Each structure stands twice: as structure tokens, then as C-alpha cells.
A and B are shown apart, each in its own frame.
Chain A
Amino acid sequence: MNKVTQRLLGPLTLLTLVATVILGLWVTPKATMHDGGGDLVRMLYVHPALAWVALYVSFGTTTIASALYLWKRTRSDTMDRVAYCAMEVSVLFIALTLITGSIWGRPTWGVWWAWDARLTSTAILLVLALGYLALRRANDDPQTRARRSAVYGILVALNVPIIHFAVTWWKSLHQNATVLTVSGKVSVHGSMLWTLLLSFIAFTLWYFWLLRARYRLEVRSDQAMQSHLAAAVVERQREGA
């Protein structure tokens, strides 16, 4: 990421998020009760974008970085760190996806939770993502940790297409895709559609901002660990002399 992009990322994220909130809450119209549930439509500017980031952008980052780590030509600590940091951010977005879905589900469906294929497979993804973080803590050796995490990161990504197609493969209470439809046809009206697309951009930018911040923290943490280790070795050498 070059310096200009880095400098613009924060302000752009804030700008698009604020614009989404303003458009979503005050500018866009209510939906009909039949197609959108009146003011409930405003959840449309939050939930699908969170799911987009959680499933595709964030989990995709972990999968690609994990694959690049396992490939000898591109193996590096950077790939391992990116995969790890992206998975941490994934956990946040998957949890927010489930929470906002539940908030929308209660007044719409009439229940906070339903054990249908889409919801259950998403809950499984959250457990698998938490498992990735636990797996990293279980391994002390950095090389072993990175290798095992990378393999695991790729394997759990197999759940993502299951989540995506759950609503078409099986009879699901969850509605079909709103934007990423098989036919490419989107049934969202005018300003509601533009606000929906803006929310996708805003939440994607927010994700990259979070990923960058988490990555920098991880680098600093590794550097601190290395300097502590070096100081401890020097101390030990002095004792031996």
C-alpha cells in the first residue's frame, strides 16, 4: 500500500461510513410493508455489507494469504501475519453479521434465530474462525504455527461457498441473495440501491483500515518480542562470562 493510499484510507472510510448513515437513516425512503418492511429496510444498509466483508473480503484475504504462505516462492512472515490479522477482523465481521441479522430477523421473521442452512453455516464459520485463533495460540514454534494455520485457513474457507449457495441449494427461511444474484438482477429501488452499494464500499474500506491497523500492531508486537529476546540473550551471555 503506497503512502497516498495509506493517508487517504482513514478519511475515505469515515466519509463513506458517515454518508451511508446519513443516506440510510434520513435520505432514502421507507420501503413498502410488503417488500422491505417499512423502516426495517434500513438494516439493508448494514447487514449485507457486513456479510460481504465477513465472507468474501476478509475470509478471502486469509485464504489467499494462507495459500501464498504455503507456496514456497511466496512464503514469508508477511503472508502469515496478513492471514492471521484478516482472520481476527473476520471474527468481528462474522459476529456483527450474525447480530445484525438477528436484529432484523426478530421483527421480520418473528424470531431472533432460526436453524436454517444459511444461518447455521454462518454460525459454524464463526466457530471455525475462532478455532483458527485458538490453533495459533496452541502452537509455540512460529514455523509450525504458520504452516498449520495456513492449512487450516484454506480448509475452513470451503464453508464459504456452502454459506453462499445455502439459500439456493436448500429451502431456507433466509431470503435469496440481494446483490450477488445468480441472474444478476437486483430488485432494490433507486436511492436504496445506491445507498446499499455505498455501504458495501464503506464497510470494505473500514475492513482494510482495521486490517492495516491490526497488521501494524502485529509487526510492532513481533519487533518488541525480538528485542526482548535479544536483550535476554545478551544478559545470559554476561552471566556466563
Chain B
Amino acid sequence: MDEGDRVDLTPVVPAPRKRSSNGRTVGVLVVLVGAVGLLLSQGLLRNLNYFVTVDEVLAQKQHYGTDTVRLEGIVQKGTITRTAVGTSFVMDGSEGARVPVNVTGTPPQLFQANIPVVVVGHFVSARSMHFAGTQILVKHSANYIAAHPNRVKAKNGSVR
């Protein structure tokens, strides 16, 4: 038998089959659903409302107990005090409710009186009105007013 007539008996490895377009499409959609589901579970499903207001919490104090919540309110003027471990101040609700807050850590650079803030924390006890926070988030408005040395404030609080 000639060299050229020899039959190659080496087992042929079949070429890897490419997955069909439909299979890959389903794969992409499965990954997408997983990724979106993960983001939803972290974000929207837990925090559709990112915070509860001071008024809401005090109206349902028993319900919240000592659970960790994000509490929103206005920082009352003249109440901010630096403590050894952080900051203390009083948060006002829009309907007259008030909550004294102690927060550990450094507040954000825009933290000041008369602005809305969100404090992450919990009430010290189910009956206590004192709120112990671990983080302050400053809630910025959609107003942008130029800093101007000659600007005057009208009696109604508007600035020209």
C-alpha cells in the first residue's frame, strides 16, 4: 500500500456547534432579567420611597419602633452642636413635629441649618423621641442662587 493510499483513521472531532440565535437571545434576556432584578431588589423594591418624614414617623411611632429608617426633616436653626463623636441637632417636620437627633461621624460639607436632610438611624428605644443616626444625607433643592455680596433678602424670604 502506498503512503498516499493510507486511510486516516484518526477520530474526527466535530467542530463545536454554535448556539443558535434563539438560544443566545434567550441567554441574553435571562442575564438581563437577572441584572435588572438585582438592581430592583437593591433599589426600587426596597426604597420606592427613599425616606420617611418626621411627621410620618411620629404619627406611627409604634410601627417603626427601633427599626432602622431614613428620616427626613429640616435642620432647625440654632440647634446644631458638634459632639465628641459627631453632630447633634433637632429635625423639624412640616406639621410641627420635632425629633432630636444625634449622629456619629462627619456630616457632608453642605450640612447647615434650615436645609432638608435625611438621617439614617433608629430611635434609641420604642418610647424614646431621640433618634440615633449613623449618616447624614443632605437633600439638595432644585434652586441655584448666585452668591452675590450685594444681594438683599426680601421680607418674604425671596432673593433678588
Contact = CB atoms under 8 A, between A and B. Distances in A.
Contacts of A127: 32, 35-36, 39
Interface in B31-50: 31-32, 35-36, 39-40, 42-44, 46-50
Contacts of B29: 131, 135
Contacts, number: 157
Contacts of A114: 50, 137
B82 interface: no
Contacts of B136: 110
Interface in A179-200: 181, 187-192
Nearest to A111: B137
A241 interface: no
A192 B144 contact: yes
A121 B148 CA distance: 37
A28 B112 CA distance: 24
A171 interface: yes
Contact of A44 (B31, B32, B141, B144): B144
B43 A35 contact: no
Contacts of B25: 135, 138-139, 148
B135 to A, nearest CB: 7
Contact of A173 (B53, B139, B147): B139
B68 to A, nearest CB: 14
Interface stretch (B2-10, B92-100, B102-110): B102-110
Given A29-B148, A107-B110, A109-B138, A187 B40 contact: no
Given A109-B137, A138-B27, A35 B145 contact: yes
B137 A120 contact: no
Interface residues of A, number: 56
Interface string A21-65: 000000011111111111011001000000000000000000000
Interface centre among B29, B32, B72, B144 (most CB of A within 10 A): B144
Given A32-B145, A38-B147, A110-B108, A123 B32 contact: no
Given A34-B112, A131-B32, A135-B28, A110 B147 contact: no
A190 B32 CA distance: 44
B143 A134 contact: no
A107 B40 CA distance: 26
B140 A108 contact: yes
Interface of B is mostly: mixed
A33 B138 CA distance: 12
A16 interface: no
A72 B32 CA distance: 29
A121 B21 CA distance: 29
B43 A120 contact: yes
A176 to B, nearest CB: 5
A101 B24 CA distance: 34
B12 interface: no
A124 B108 contact: no
B72 A30 contact: no
A239 interface: no
Given A28-B146, A123-B43, A127-B39, 19 more contacts: A31-B146, A33-B112, A34-B145, A35-B144, A36-B146, A109-B108, A109-B137, A109-B140, A111-B137, A115-B47, A120-B39, A124-B36, A124-B40, A127-B35, A128-B36, A134-B32, A139-B25, A148-B25, A171-B52
Interface of A: 28-38, 40-41, 44, 107-111, 114-117, 119-121, 123-124, 127-128, 131, 134-135, 137-141, 144-145, 148, 170-173, 175-178, 181, 187-192
Q: Kindly list the 5 A-B residue pairs having the minimum CB-CB distance in the complex, ordered from nearest.
A: A120-B43, A110-B108, A138-B24, A116-B50, A187-B143
